[in-house]
Amino acid sequence: MRLALLLSFLVAVPAAADDYPHVYLKTDALKAKVYLPDAEKGFYRGTRFDWSGVFGDIGFAGHSLFHKWKDTHDPKNHDDIIGPVEEFGMEKPLNYDDAKVGETFLKIGIGELEKPKEEKYRFYHNYKIVKPGVWTAKQVNPAKVEFHQKLTGPNGYAYEYTKTVTIDPKRPEIIIGHTLTNTGTKPIATDHYNHNFFNVDGKPVGPDYEFDFAFPLKADGKERFPDVVKLDGKAWRFTKPLDTGSVFAQLKELPKEHPGQPYVVMRHKPSKVSVSINGSRAPVRFNVWGMKTTICPEPFLDLNAKPGETVRWMWSYEFATD
């Protein structure tokens, strides 16, 4: 895959053997490292998450947010990734049901993947990439980068996809905008979510992390959820460190309309740093997953586009200190 880098302000060159192509976005309040999609040299080349707009550290008020949560890194592993990252088709990618063993299905933001012999789609499986999508990346100004992918896949599926990552010049806020146009002959119907691998300065998950949602919390909790989490109205609180194992909860009875305020505000008490996560649409599902090194509130959307139609949506992250 050729990656056309149209960088007016900055040329991305790996700084060391263990680094990957990237650009920096910067204002007086925020600095973000953003990796560039590249099928041969990219920081992330797995088959789960969208390759564009993958973050490294986000620096704010002397702290590192969405810090790395794994001790090692394999660019081709499905979850060796950092920061606010997105996946299309976690439940089922385009053309998966119609593809026979050895044929391809389409994973938006990645490309065509080969279907192996299996009972059902596994988002955590590392599939073979048959045809990676071609990306262009353009740094519009020191605080904005734009990614574009155009892909024609199997069985009438095709799309054009644009993502922009922007730091607001007037406030400490990152906005991730999306435009998806169906250029094929088949309808596009897919789930889409942001995983939000969150931590502050690599500090372990536990009572130092607090979460306040925009709606009353009811949840189906699994794993260590009953042992370490207490829900109180709209508040999610850890009662003890999540030192071993993991926690998972699927939130229930979400509001059908956008709540009119951030989905969730995440606070780290020792650093006094908070992040307000919001979006342009009401989530249709909302999961929370975490382990010792990261905690992840995950808002889900359902996206639908008939042939010729375009859908647009955004996520926003506003940073603050108490």
| Residue 60 domain flag | yes
Q: What is the pLDDT of residue 322?
A: 81
Same-domain pairing of 176 and 222: no
Same-domain pairing of 26 and 155: yes
| Residue 103 domain flag | no
Same-domain pairing of 154 and 270: no
Q: What is the pLDDT of residue 13?
A: 40
Q: What is the pLDDT of residue 41?
A: 95
Same-domain pairing of 222 and 186: no
Q: Are 311 and 88 in contact (CB under 8 A)?
A: no
Nearest to 299 by CA among 310, 314, 320: 314
The pLDDT tens digits of the residues spanning 270-281 come to 999 999 999 999
**Both tokens of residue 37?**
């999609």
d(CA 188, CA 226): 38
Q: What is the pLDDT of residue 15?
A: 39
Q: What is the pLDDT of residue 57?
A: 86
Domain boundary among 142, 166, 194: 194
d(CA 26, CA 189): 35
Same-domain pairing of 8 and 45: yes
Q: Bin 109: left if φ > 0, else alpha if -120 < ψ < 50, else beta.
A: left
Domain boundary among 162, 194, 226: 194
d(CA 197, CA 253): 24
| Residue 133 domain flag | yes
| Residue 39 domain flag | yes
Q: Bin 129: left if φ > 0, else alpha if -120 < ψ < 50, else beta.
A: beta
Domain boundary among 170, 194, 218: 194
d(CA 107, CA 160): 13
Same-domain pairing of 178 and 64: yes
| Residue 313 domain flag | yes
Q: Which residues form the domain of 36?
A: 4-90+129-194
Q: Are 191 and 217 in contact (CB under 8 A)?
A: no
Same-domain pairing of 150 and 293: no
Same-domain pairing of 272 and 137: no
Same-domain pairing of 17 and 59: yes
Same-domain pairing of 300 and 222: yes
Pairing of strands 229-232, 188-194: unpaired
State which residues of the chain have pLDDT below 70. Answer: 1-18
Report the number of distinct structural domains present in the chain: 2
Instruction: Quote the mean pLDDT of the chain.
Output: 93
The pLDDT tens digits of the residues spanning 3-57 come to 444 433 343 444 344 589 999 999 999 999 999 999 999 999 999 999 999 999 8
Same-domain pairing of 134 and 218: no
Residue position matching structure tokens 């740094």: 139
- What is the reported pTM? 0.92
Same-domain pairing of 216 and 181: no
d(CA 292, CA 206): 8
**Both tokens of residue 141?**
């100004």
CA 6 to chain CA centroid, Å, is 24
